[in-house]
């Protein structure tokens, strides 16, 4: 094999490796961005979970997330036994907070809750369709979340997202978000994209969920809000069923669709 042939083969192999590495990097980067968006939603939903949901999540640890509705099983899973549920033996923070919540509401000052106290409290406060929030609901800070994700994506810390830092979704739909047409995305531009992108992801959560999810209020800068709602350009915060019922793609739900019962169970 001649030198020129070997040289060309070496260059070709190096180029192929570089393309493969870039493709893998973009794949990982895309997955990372999707993971971040979903984690934002998961964290927000946890902040808005009911007391029942919070207790069930803690009690079902180590059981593949599965636990029946028998409060006796919840009591045992959290550490209760025939002698009671002893606060001094609780090691997990979440379990301790649950104990303290029950004790406070029952005005119980001792370190041990009896099974009957636990079951009585559970029957009153942990009903499927009526359970108080675990914590006071917090407003979603769209700007702060957008800023955090922007800084994470801005790997060279130059204050803009260059082509190699854009997610595949943003790269393929760059023009509407690149207001100064410089081929890059700055923070103010990203904040607008973030609001609409997060809204799309949350709507997919609503469509997949077996129960109604709380309304996620996503704020968009006033000057960047669409003046007319159209399919594919709806304002953030609308529930998933709105887009499903607006089947004629005019961005509106006709009164006859509401009256016909199409909104039932949505």
CATH number, domain of 150, equals 1.10.238.10
Residue 210's pLDDT is: 85
Please tell me whether residues 178 and 242 are part of one structural domain.
no
Residue 114 lies in a domain: yes
Residue 118 lies in a domain: yes
Please tell me whether residues 191 and 233 are part of one structural domain.
no
Residue 231 has pLDDT above 90, yes or no: no
At 161, list the tokens. Answer: 């997202």
Please tell me whether residues 83 and 208 are part of one structural domain.
no
Q: How many CB atoms lie within 10 A of CB 23?
A: 10
Residue 134 lies in a domain: no
Residue 37 lies in a domain: yes
Q: According to DSSP H, which parts of the chain are helical?
A: 3-47, 51-59, 71-77, 93-106, 115-125, 142-153, 168-172, 187-208, 240-245, 255-259
Tell me what the mean pLDDT of segment 27-45 comes to.
78
60, 92, 125: which is the final residue of a domain?
125
Residue 250 lies in a domain: yes
The confidence band for 235, taking pLDDT boundaries of 50, 70 and 90, is low
The confidence band for 20, taking pLDDT boundaries of 50, 70 and 90, is very low
- Closest by CA position to 167, among listed 185, 142, 189, 192: 185
DSSP for residue 254:
-
Residue 26 lies in a domain: no
Residue 132 lies in a domain: no
Q: What is the domain count for the chain?
A: 3
Please tell me whether residues 90 and 121 are part of one structural domain.
yes
Range of the domain at 212: 31-48+139-225
Residue 209 has pLDDT above 50, yes or no: yes
The confidence band for 242, taking pLDDT boundaries of 50, 70 and 90, is low
Please tell me whether residues 235 and 218 are part of one structural domain.
no
Residue 246's pLDDT is: 55
Residue 1's pLDDT is: 53
Residue 141's pLDDT is: 92
- Closest by CA position to 242, among listed 201, 206, 192, 193: 206
Please tell me whether residues 77 and 149 are part of one structural domain.
no
Top-confidence residue, 228 or 124 = 124
Please tell me whether residues 158 and 174 are part of one structural domain.
yes
Residue 77 has pLDDT above 90, yes or no: yes
- Closest by CA position to 193, among listed 211, 166, 214: 166
pTM value is 0.60
Report the Cα 82 to chain-centroid distance in Å.
Answer: 39
Please tell me whether residues 108 and 148 are part of one structural domain.
no
């Amino acid at each position: 094999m001649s030198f020129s042939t070997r040289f060309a083969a070496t260059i070709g192999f190096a180029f192929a490796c570089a393309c493969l590495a870039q493709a893998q990097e973009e794949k990982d980067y895309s997955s990372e961005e999707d993971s971040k968006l979903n984690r934002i939603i998961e964290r927000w939903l946890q902040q808005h979970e009911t007391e029942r949901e919070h207790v069930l999540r803690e009690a079902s640890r180590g059981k593949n997330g599965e636990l029946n509705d028998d409060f006796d099983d919840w009591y045992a899973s959290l550490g209760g036994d025939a002698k009671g549920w002893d606060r001094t033996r609780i090691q997990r923070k979440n379990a301790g907070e649950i104990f303290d919540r029950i004790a406070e509401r029952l005005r119980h000052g001792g370190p041990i809750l009896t099974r009957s106290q636990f079951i009585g409290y559970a029957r009153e406060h942990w009903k499927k369709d009526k359970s108080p929030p675990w914590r006071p609901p917090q407003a979603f800070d769209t700007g702060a979340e957008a800023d955090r994700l922007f800084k994470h994506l801005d790997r060279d810390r130059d204050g803009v997202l260059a082509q190699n830092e854009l997610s595949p979704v943003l790269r393929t739909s760059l023009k509407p978000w690149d207001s100064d047409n410089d081929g890059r995305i700055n923070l103010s531009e990203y904040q607008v994209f973030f609001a609409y992108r997060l809204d799309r992801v949350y709507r997919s959560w609503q469509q997949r969920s077996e129960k109604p999810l709380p309304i996620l209020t996503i704020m968009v800068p006033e000057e960047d809000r669409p003046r007319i709602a159209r399919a594919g350009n709806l304002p953030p915060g609308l529930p998933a069923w709105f887009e499903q019922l607006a089947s004629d793609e005019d961005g509106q739900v006709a009164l006859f669709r509401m009256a016909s019962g199409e909104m039932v169970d949505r």
